[in-house]
Structure 1
């Protein structure tokens, strides 16, 4: 099966030098701290931890978006819920990011580059969500809603790339079962 055009574009991006700047130190840190690596890679769980953590921030951001839409249709009570949902999403994103970085440390070649773009789009989305929460605190709800909607679109691109990593490249698939016999973890 041929990869979608966007994936083919991402695969060809000349990112190896930039990726190495981040990948090598992360891999070194995790090699020096195997307990941290084990806690974040999900080997204790029996499968990668990152996919188990991402539904909470994505679900919270989705809830915030739906509640924002409800405020546009005359439900003033939904505004406070949207603010809370976006804040919960940001808090929940922290462990998902840490687990994702750990999972990324195992990747090589093209999947590593694709995962870098996946992470970069999620960082951009998270920054937009932070901006939205700040705008909400400043009582600039309309601007906050625009920024969080744009952040949600960017999050969708990152999520799609994450799906491609799992289903097109098999990132993380089988890694835990292969590692179960390894006692240095």
Structure 2
């Protein structure tokens, strides 16, 4: 997971540095933060990072991508079917932005669950009975956490598969992956499926 989200962080940083539009730059910046926090989450020192800034970041990110997805839906209607079919870029797609919003909601869920687990009395003692925070990767307590976690995992898997299908179509049309759209679709699939694996690990304990 460190390697996967480290590479995804590098991809987000490269795309951020080469972005031509403010909207795209904001999206890549938010994903850079998400991927960096995903790297930190698999290590014990994540527990020393403040929780509220992380929650605020991912709530705002989820709202940003949800708003963009809604705008894409509204924007596509007056253009008609032919126009919407021609607007196939990754950032022009409402479903892609909706999947990104779900990723950010999954981050809110993961940060909240891990923070609650670390705050519990059982987490006060580390291995061998020593005091201090440590990484949390067990099933969350409470029905709401379990149900919402399962829904997020299912949605993330579906989103990752949809990115892979879109990547397959892109390769058939363009003949290669290594362009901006192809790399975005591949990164989206890796992020979505990687986050689904992390959340599923937390649920399974």
Using structure 2 for the length normalisation, give the TM-score.
0.38
Higher RCO by CA contacts (8 Å cutoff, separation 6 or greater): 1
